[in-house]
Amino acid sequence: SGGVADAKNLRVKLVLLGDSGVGKSCIVLRFVRGQFDPTSKVTIGASFLSQTIALQDSTTVKFEIWDTAGQERYAALAPLYYRGAAVAVIVYDITSPETFNKAQYWVKELQKHGSPDIVMALVGNKADLEEKREVPTHDGIDYAEKNGMFFIETSAKTADNINQLFEEIAKRLP
Ligand code: GTP
Ligand code: MG
């Protein structure tokens, strides 16, 4: 199987969650436009972008991406964006343990209130800042494994693992 005859066109609602400043908007900008903005502004409410990728079996996956605002004042809006989402990408900053704690909060919230079959990815971003790392890679791996999530470390700045993140998600779609 996997030939052209099996090709499908999937549409997938994806939500990004995580503390303010972890790099959610930069990950999306890198994935959708191939750019990095060192002066990225905080997101107000949420923003929407879409991007289509082709898999090896010529299936296409159109990601409809809700990039939420991480500032605490917007936390109450999150259910509007994660409700009905097939995929949640929960992002922390590898230089900031507080953001790793916040990521765990979002995982629990989605386990309680997200779709039961949601695909969850845990992303440690800013992997280019290795000299400032405060969250060991194995902490991310362990937490993701215990919670049945896919785990990856990325850098929106260098583009490291950004396309891989979305390709791996696409492979895990039900
Ligand atoms: P909110 O919209 O407030 O929730 O924040 P956010 O998660 O969208 O953060 P944003 O993408 O705006 O990035 C915040 C800051 O981190 C910006 O100054 C970015 O330039 C920087 N940044 C984002 N990703 C990376 C990365 O991979 N490496 C480095 N070194 N800096 C990054
Ligand atoms: Mg943002």
pLDDT tens for each residue of 129-167: 999 999 999 999 999 999 999 999 999 999 999 999 999
User: Is 4 a residue whose pLDDT tops 80?
Assistant: no
Average pLDDT, the chain: 95
Gyration radius of the chain's alpha carbons:
15
pLDDT in tens, 65-81: 999 999 999 999 999 99
Count CA atoms within 13 Å of residue 130 on its CB side.
4
Is there a contact between 86 and 110 (Cβ–Cβ < 8 Å)? no
Residue whose CA is at the smallest distance from ligand 1 atom 30:
126
125 burial level (CB within 10 Å; 0-12, 13-18, 19+): buried
Is 40's C-beta closer than 6 angstroms to any atom of ligand 1? yes
User: Is 108 a residue whose pLDDT tops 50?
Assistant: yes
Q: Which of 104, 53, 96, 106 lies closest to 75, judged by CA?
A: 106
Is 174's C-beta closer than 6 angstroms to any atom of ligand 1? no
Q: What is the pTM of this model?
A: 0.96
Chain mean position to CA 124: 10
Q: How does 30-69 read in b/e, with b if 16+ C-beta sit within 10 Å?
A: bbeeeebeeeeeebeebeeeeeeeebeeebebebbbbbbb
Longest dimension (CA), the chain: 49
Is 124's C-beta closer than 6 angstroms to any atom of ligand 1? no
Is 161's C-beta closer than 6 angstroms to any atom of ligand 1? no
User: Is 5 a residue whose pLDDT tops 60?
Assistant: no
Ligand 1, pocket-test mutation among 19, 22, 125, 130, most atoms within 8 A of CB = 22
Model ipTM over 0.90: yes
Distances (CA, A) of 116 to 64, 113, 122: 19, 8, 17
Q: 2 falls in which pLDDT band (50, 70, 90)?
A: very low
Token pair, residue 151, equals 């785990």
User: Is 114 a residue whose pLDDT tops 70?
Assistant: yes
pLDDT, residue 3, reads 52
Q: Which atom of ligand 1 is nearest to the CA of 40?
A: 12
Token pair, residue 87, equals 């995929």
